[in-house]
Amino acid sequence: MNKQNSLITRYCLAVVVMLALLGPLAQNGRGSFVLHNDEQLTVNESHYSGVLYDRSRVFIVPGGDIYIRLTANDSSGVDISGGHVSDLYAYNYSVVDISGGDVGVLDAFDSSTVDISGGYVGHLWALGSNAVNLSGGSVSDLDADGSSVVDISGGSMDILDAGGSSTVNISGGYVSELKADGYSEVTFYGRDFRVGGGLTLDGDRVLGTGFLSGEWFDGTGWIMTITNNYPTATILAIPEPATLLLLGFGAVMLRKRRYYCS
């Protein structure tokens, strides 16, 4: 009887310890999920992780939380309008659309597409032939590498590091610091460009490091610090089309005036 009681006591203690260990996990998440084909899932509570294949799609909404990793493969899609994703990996031809919420780290590979119109991304790394479009929201730092193409028309970014053979087009928003490395090409589309602190303009090309300021097409002023400008990289400041047309029209009128005066 004593031996039986001892076994029961040990079993009860083991159960108590197991519940103590699993209790926080049970409260913090519903485990992992894997989606295939055209499956769709709306995440409005905590999950450990998730993996997407084929044409599957996941919707992260307010209250949703992926606190380990979310991986998108093939032609799958990730829509984030709220909640939190700790680490997000986009492969192949997957598409990530962020309009709200926050993502700690987003790594884009292959030919994936990342569209950001709202929310917050801590670190975004684009490696491959990715397409990254920022029209709103905020990104702490973006590393563009490979042959990625980045279009910035709105939102804000603390640090933009363009490397490899990446192409970056900036026509709006706010970027605090620019680093141009490798064979990257960064083009600003605006007007009233001004340089300072060591920068010079050679035609449309920006040389050196220092401060670059100007206005976007809507008249919004901005200023940026260029801290890296490798000799193999290219930074261009292109006046808006309307400005070019006015300059062309002025040149024509000047030639006509000289013709009539002569």
CA distances from 16 to 23, 28, 43 (A): 10, 19, 31
Cβ atoms of 167 and 184 within 8 Å: the answer is: yes
pLDDT by residue, tens only, the chain of 262 residues: 443 444 344 444 443 333 343 344 333 446 899 999 999 999 999 999 999 999 999 999 999 999 999 999 999 999 999 999 999 999 999 999 999 999 999 999 999 999 999 999 999 999 999 999 999 999 999 999 999 999 999 999 999 999 999 999 999 999 999 999 999 999 999 999 999 999 999 999 999 999 999 999 999 999 999 999 999 999 999 996 644 444 444 444 444 444 444 4
Q: Which amino acid would we find at residue 20?
A: A
Cβ atoms of 180 and 231 within 8 Å: the answer is: no
100 SS3 class: strand
145-154 contacts at long range (C-beta below 8 A, 24 or more positions apart): 145/182, 148/108, 150/126, 154/117
Q: Bridge partners of 220? A: none
Q: Which amino acid would we find at residue 241?
A: P
Backbone angles phi, psi at 193, to 5 degrees: -70, 140
> In this structure, what token pair is assigned to residue 208?
């050196």
Sign of the torsion angle spanned by Cα atoms 117, 119, 122, 125: negative
**Whole-number Å distance between alpha carbons of 139 and 209:** 23
> In this structure, what token pair is assigned to residue 14?
């083991």
DSSP at 161: E
> In this structure, what token pair is assigned to residue 169?
């087009």
